Amino acid sequence: MKVPRYCVGQLVNVVGHCAGEPFNNDFFVQCRILCPADDGTYFVRVLKSDGYSIVDEDSISAYPLYDQEKPADRKRIRVVFFGNGLFALPTLKKLVEQGYDVAAVVTMEDKPCGRGNKVSPSPVKTYAESQGIIVYQPRNLDSDDFLQAIRDMNPTVGVVVEYRILPQSLFKIPKWGVINLHSSLLPVYRGASTITSAIKDGKGITGVTTFLINSGLDKGNIINNLATYIGDNDSAEDIHIQLRTNGAVMVDDAIQRIAHSCNGIPQSDLICDFIQPSHAPKLFRKDAYIPWCDSAYRVHNFIRAHSSVIGGQYYPKTPAIAGSVSTAWTSLKMIDSDSATDVKIHKVSKTGIPRGYHAPGEWFWQDGSLMVACQDNLLSVDILQLPGKKRMTAKEYHNGFRGVCKGFCDISPDDKDETTSEK
């Protein structure tokens, strides 16, 4: 990806025809950048016509807010990093590799993780210790001893990625404040299940945002953002990887912008037809129960939105912070069985085949594919997982059942467990 030269909220001049204006208009039209994209383009709002356009960087005429060829001395910027899992790890690595003075890492306490419930450190802690960085795992972020330890470091800036809500007594300590990396294009999808919500809602675009923490939940001034396009078949796993990679670069960009006295933009300045505040709530296991009575399009989005991250996110029994919460699942009862089995569905494909006489939730083998009926069309199940087993293809599942693949999924999840949550 290319680090954007211009940033969100910046007023720029764009060549008129590139912004969708007729040739007989002014050569340049004024636009406000709503978000740069990781393909090097910019999504802008054309102020004169109140329209929207996607433009290349070469069509923009404006002074950048700082000279990227002359970065602030990273060795003189002392960072305290707050983070936890796989989404946070690339950012911490980037800060270390870029030469920032990472004075300490603050992460969650070691907790049971994985199939054997073995007490394990977070990925962030493991990496920090390998680099000789001091690690703190406080239960109480407001404790006097912990706050004093952070003050004694005299940090220039704090960075938060995939961690808890910081109290004001803590985020007021660093000289430049605390930067939060968030996995959406704020103010869209404030909250916990950002990636899942974007894919489930059928959005074609999402991204990362860096902002300065204040007392509101994900409501601080935006430093910059970066859009990523969501493909028709992209899963939450795919987007999670893309965003955590882009996010690491954008945190470095955010620190440099603050070092060059760039002020953040209030989120309210970005609200328009295409950008409206929304909430991505904390999700539980029951929220990943597949709604087979919906259209095949919506069910396909639902399943890829709830795809899990390979290797598991840290703390699988707690709500997700950035990404999918629980793998999409269904309760399946085979015709030759008296009991139902919970089955995780990792990947499906659209077929365009009408469901015909098949009831929503009906599960059967047809023409070499494992099919499930939805409200209108059939979906082909590609990858699934039985309890206590590894992921398997539909063909492997078919072979394991000796060709018997006929059953019905429960389409009434109302009685499912509402207290269990997982990443």
pLDDT at 20: 72
Report whether 82 contacts 260 (CB < 8 A). Answer: no
Report whether 29 contacts 46 (CB < 8 A). Answer: yes
Contacts (Cβ under 8 Å, ≥6 apart) of 8: 33, 34, 35, 36, 222, 224, 225, 265, 270
Integer Cα distance of 205 and 180 in angstroms: 20
In-domain check, residue 334: yes
Q: What is the gyration radius of the CA atoms in the chain, in angstroms?
A: 24
Check which CATH number belongs to the domain holding 42 and give it. 2.30.30
- CA 261 → CA 66, 101, 210, 245, 257, distances in Å? 9, 20, 15, 25, 6
pLDDT at 24: 53
Please count the structural domains in the chain. 3
In-domain check, residue 280: no
Same domain for 93 and 233, yes or no, is: yes
pLDDT at 115: 63
Q: Which residue in 422, 194, 207, 229 sits closest to 322, CA to CA?
A: 194
Beta strands in 65-202 (DSSP E): 78-83, 101-106, 111-113, 118-120, 134-136, 157-161, 178-182, 190-191
pLDDT at 404: 65
Rounded to the nearest angstrom, the gap between the alpha carbon of residue 184 and the centroid of all alpha carbons in its chain is 6
Integer Cα distance of 126 and 107 in angstroms: 10
Same domain for 229 and 324, yes or no, is: no
In-domain check, residue 90: yes
Structural domain boundaries, residue 409: 285-415
Same domain for 359 and 337, yes or no, is: yes
Phi, psi (degrees; rounded to nearest 5) at 260: -100, 25
> Letter for the amino acid at 222?
I
The one-character DSSP state at 107 is: -
pLDDT at 18: 77
pLDDT at 74: 97
Check which CATH number belongs to the domain holding 216 and give it. 3.40.50.170
Integer Cα distance of 195 and 192 in angstroms: 9
Integer Cα distance of 204 and 201 in angstroms: 9
Same domain for 88 and 205, yes or no, is: yes
pLDDT at 318: 36
Ordered mean pLDDT values, 10 residues apiece, the chain (423 residues): 92 85 71 95 92 93 92 97 94 98 96 74 95 96 96 98 95 97 96 93 96 92 96 94 97 97 92 90 91 97 84 38 67 88 95 96 93 97 93 91 80 57 35
Report whether 178 contacts 200 (CB < 8 A). Answer: no
Please give the span between the terminal C-alpha atoms of the chain, in angstroms, as a whole number.
28
pLDDT at 149: 97
